[in-house]
Amino acid sequence: HHGWIEVIVGPMYSGKSEELIRRLRRAQIAKQKIQVFKPSIDDRYSVSEVVSHNGEKIKAECINKAEDIYKLLKEDTEVIGIDEVQFLDDQIIDICRDLADKGLRVVVAGLDMDFRGEPFGSTPYIMAIAEFVDKLTAVCVICGHPANRTQRIVDGKPARYTEPTILVGAQERYEARCRLHHEVPKV
Ligand code: ADP
């Protein structure tokens, strides 16, 4: 039987986790065996669940490396969900391809752009090799138009272009913004 890759991308708050959970729930209703993975770097809410900002949840297994998926994969799994894919190492690209080749449905969610508006990690590569891509928008907190970017704010100010992509232990927050209101000072 046929496998394929479907990708759900967009900025923070665009409903990626919500949509991933919705698709996986429907697979469960169809009595398909699912497994959900997420990188352990994102322990926003729970180490064992994917949780959306509106409180929807689904059980997930935390992985440190993309190849951990092979260690945890059960023989009867038909649908794989992966959240926050941008935080996994590049091997995830080949793993998604391999699992789809083997007949699994691979549903991947993640940020397509980092806080600078640049392509984020392996997400753009997986988008390129996927059968289906859905690019979701959030609501711009400044003007209410569709937001496709994630604004990073550190100490109340827009984060500069030169800041590292992943900050550890910083006073940072994120907002959904449209192109017009997305601010990334170069200096
Ligand atoms: P993502 O996984 O893309 O970060 P989630 O699925 O976790 O998104 O959260 C989506 C939910 O976030 C929405 O249903 C809504 O309740 C909430 N939300 C909060 N702020 C915003 C915003 N600026 N735009 C859209 N949704 C928002």
59 C-alpha to ligand 1 centroid (Å): 19
The DSSP code for 121 is T
Which of 127, 67, 121 shows the shortest CA–CA distance to 99?
67
Q: If you write DSSP's letter for every residue of 81-109 in order, what string do you get?
A: EE-SGGGS-THHHHHHHHHHHTT-EEEEE
* Pocket test residue of 54, 107, 123, 175 for ligand 1, highest count of atoms within 8 A of CB: 54
Segment 1-31, tens digit of pLDDT: 799 999 999 999 999 999 999 999 999 999 9
Instruction: Kindly report the number of other CB atoms within 10 A of residue 2's CB atom.
Output: 8
Segment 89-139, tens digit of pLDDT: 999 999 999 999 999 999 999 999 999 999 999 999 999 999 999 999 999
81 is in an annotated binding site: no
pTM over 0.90: yes
Ligand 1 atom showing the smallest separation from residue 175 Cα:
23
